[in-house]
């Protein structure tokens, strides 16, 4: 109990330092050191616990960095824009909210962080806002809801750390979140439609893409990086790699 109390005090100290503009790395290290000492550990024991903790978390950190590399590849090559634009065009005017939600859902599900996914789809949403006079708050809610739903099954820090803590495969954690993810997507659609039911869309929607940097890409080439990532993640539970 005394050690738990020390850990809580250390956590509160780290949060307070970060809020007060201290670099997160230094804030976390200071909080961990203070928490160990406050919890009754000696200085040597506290340092050993910190070192062991870093060693245990290192695999998760490497996977998070790998997910970041995937995000960078999708963005820099224009693959993310190609995927989102294709979804919007295929689903069309009658399913604007679903198209935006599903675009951010898919981007987040393959490893793109939600803020990056929203920024990627935002130009399309702004184009819809200008042509159909739909409030941007409705469009933003659809994108954020879809992105958060996609996060449930993506190789993001939450799923990676959960897999590490429960000693299970990352792909197993991702597959377990498929049904909750689609429930979240459906609930997003219900919520957006409910709050926007008084806003009638009467204008004709003509989709136009100003950024044409991704036009040389096909949809299949854009999906290649996410597909390769999914195959690599499946190697461990299927073949022990």
Mean pLDDT by 10 residues, the chain (241 residues): 80 91 88 90 88 77 68 71 72 77 83 76 73 79 90 78 77 83 91 74 48 65 73 66 68
What's the pLDDT at 204? 47
What's the pLDDT at 212? 54
Asked if residue 121 lies in contact with residue 209, where contact means CB atoms within 8 angstroms, the answer is: no
What's the pLDDT at 154? 79
From CA 173, how far away is CA 30, in angstroms rounded? 32
CA 160 to chain centre: 12
CB count within 10 Å of CB 180 equals 12
CA 3 to chain centre: 33
Q: Is the dihedral of CA 172, 173, 174, 177 positive or negative?
A: positive
Q: What is the DSSP letter of 93?
A: G
From CA 98, how far away is CA 189, in angstroms rounded? 7
Residue 119 burial (C-beta neighbours within 10 Å; 0-12, 13-18, 19+): middle
The string of DSSP codes covering 39-83 is TT--HHHHHHHHHHHHHHHHHHHHHHHHHHHHHHHHHHTTHHHHH
pTM: 0.56
What's the pLDDT at 200? 53
What's the pLDDT at 233? 63
From CA 69, how far away is CA 66, in angstroms rounded? 5
Nearest to 152 by CA among 117, 120, 192, 184: 184
What's the pLDDT at 202? 45
From CA 121, how far away is CA 128, in angstroms rounded? 11
Angle, CA of 143, 148 and 153, to the nearest 5°: 125
């Amino acid at each position: 109990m005394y050690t738990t109390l020390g850990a809580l005090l250390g956590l509160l100290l780290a949060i307070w330092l970060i809020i007060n503009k201290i670099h997160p790395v230094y804030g976390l290290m200071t909080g961990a050191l203070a928490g160990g000492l406050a919890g009754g550990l000696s200085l040597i024991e506290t340092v050993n616990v910190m070192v062991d903790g870093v060693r245990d978390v290192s695999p998760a950190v490497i996977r998070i960095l790998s997910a970041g590399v995937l995000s960078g590849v999708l963005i820099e090559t224009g693959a993310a824009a190609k995927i989102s634009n294709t979804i919007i065009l295929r689903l069309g005017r009658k399913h604007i909210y679903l198209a935006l939600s599903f675009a951010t859902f898919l981007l987040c599900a393959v490893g793109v962080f939600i803020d990056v996914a929203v920024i990627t789809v935002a130009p399309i949403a702004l184009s819809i806002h200008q042509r159909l006079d739909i409030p941007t708050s409705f469009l933003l809610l659809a994108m954020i809801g879809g992105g958060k739903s996609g996060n449930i099954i993506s190789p993001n820090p939450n799923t990676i750390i959960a897999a590490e803590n429960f000693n299970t495969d990352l792909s197993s954690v991702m597959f377990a979140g498929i049904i909750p993810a689609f429930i979240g997507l459906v609930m997003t659609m219900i919520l957006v439609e409910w709050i926007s039911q008084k806003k009638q869309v009467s204008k004709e929607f003509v989709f136009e893409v100003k950024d044409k940097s991704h036009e040389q890409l096909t949809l299949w080439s854009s999906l290649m990086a996410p597909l390769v990532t999914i195959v690599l993640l499946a190697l461990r539970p299927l073949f022990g790699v």
